[in-house]
Amino acid sequence: MADKKVIRTIGVLTSGGDAPGMNAAIRAVVRKAIGNGVNVKGIRRGYQGLLDEEIIDMEKSSVSDIIQRGGTILGTARCVEMCTPEGQKKAADICRKHGIDGIVIIGGDGSYRGAEKLAQNGINTIGLPGTIDLDIACTDYTIGFDTAINTAMEAIDKIRDTSSSHERCSIVEVMGRNAGYIALYCGVANGAEDILLPEKYDYNEQALIDNIIASRKRGKTHHLIINAEGIGHSTSMAKRIEAATGIETRATILGYMQRGGAPTCKDRYYASMMGAYAADILCAGKSNRVVAHQHGEIVDFDIEEALAMQKGIDEYQYQVAKILSI
């Protein structure tokens, strides 16, 4: 059976969108695996790099001076071919060609699906949650989320300063794909008057307009709306709000700046601990598992089980956010 296979060489790759802290995870995987007496190979540009055989030997020194850097030293890319049975078999065959017995895959749900297919083709795989979106249901923490919300929070503080000076309404769109966690956290931390989450928003724009007018009547000189990427259309929303209220309204889309920058202490620490854990269980012969952080502990789940889990916005936190915005 695959989970009894002797592991002599492992690979590590980053897949999908990059996230601050990925380098800390790579560093931990490499150094912990070598400490366990296992060889490590780095795979550049995710699954695409694996299919193109962009594979390099890694030593402890290969990951020196990277823990403080944003992005990923291995690079990342989307890979359509890995979604096909032919691509999955080819990837497994390339692993065997290079003597790779197992791979730690750092990424999100899409990366986990690729890991599951590799495991089915005989290559041991362990997934690490690397995404700023916090949208992986099996874990309370994902690598990069803490840095992303701090980056967004600092930017929104600056926007709020100028919005107050000009007595404007500001819509700030944050990332998160179809998940509203970045929007919720920043909405509370930045004191937003309205927080629009894909999981909760009913697209009743008139209620939003009424709230802006009511806030102005109460003496508020500005109005901050945090809009999640999953809702989007911030620019056209701003135009409609300005037309309806007569209040100058501006939209700012923070975009990819949320993925960049030096990772926070929390992202460096948790990525390091989870990366080491991933290396340990892979070296021990485990396969088709996902590392997660739940209730203060590092645990692991079967990939299929993890992908089947559901996650939503905590109702109490959402209600508190609404009350605090008044």
Q: How far apart are CA 168 and CA 3, in angstroms?
A: 59
Indicate whether 182 pLDDT > 90.
Answer: yes
Contacts of residue 264, defined as CB under 8 A and 6 or more positions apart, other chains included, come to: 20, 146, 147, 150
Per cent of the chain over pLDDT 70 is: 99
Tokens 């990342």 belong to: 76
Provide the CATH topology of domain 2-144+263-308: Rossmann fold (3.40.50)
Indicate where the chain has its CATH 3.40.50.460 domain(s). 147-260
Residue 78 binned pLDDT confidence (cut-offs 50, 70, 90): confident
Looking at residue 1, its pLDDT comes to 41
pLDDT tens across 86-115, in order?
A: 999 999 999 999 999 999 999 999 999 999
- CA nearest neighbour of 40 among 16, 20, 68, 62: 62
Indicate whether 142 pLDDT > 90.
Answer: yes
Provide the CATH topology of domain 147-260: Rossmann fold (3.40.50)
Residue range 184-188: average pLDDT? 98
Looking at residue 326, its pLDDT comes to 79
Strands (E), the chain: 9-14, 39-43, 55-58, 102-107, 124-129, 169-174, 194-196, 223-228, 249-253, 289-294, 297-302
Going across the sheet that includes 289-294, the strands are: 55-58, 39-43, 9-14, 102-107, 124-129, 289-294, 297-302
Enzyme catalytic residues: 133
Residue range 196-225: average pLDDT? 94
pLDDT tens across 146-177, in order?
A: 999 999 999 999 999 999 899 999 999 999 99
- This prediction's pTM: 0.95
Q: How far apart are CA 236 and CA 23, in angstroms?
A: 38
Indicate where the chain has its CATH 3.40.50.450 domain(s). 2-144+263-308
Indicate whether 2 pLDDT > 70.
Answer: no
Q: How far apart are CA 125 and CA 129, in angstroms?
A: 13
pLDDT, averaged across the chain: 96
Q: How far apart are CA 296 and CA 294, in angstroms?
A: 5
How many Cβ atoms from other residues are within 10 Å of residue 160's Cβ?
Answer: 18
Indicate whether 307 pLDDT > 50.
Answer: yes
Residue 3 binned pLDDT confidence (cut-offs 50, 70, 90): very low
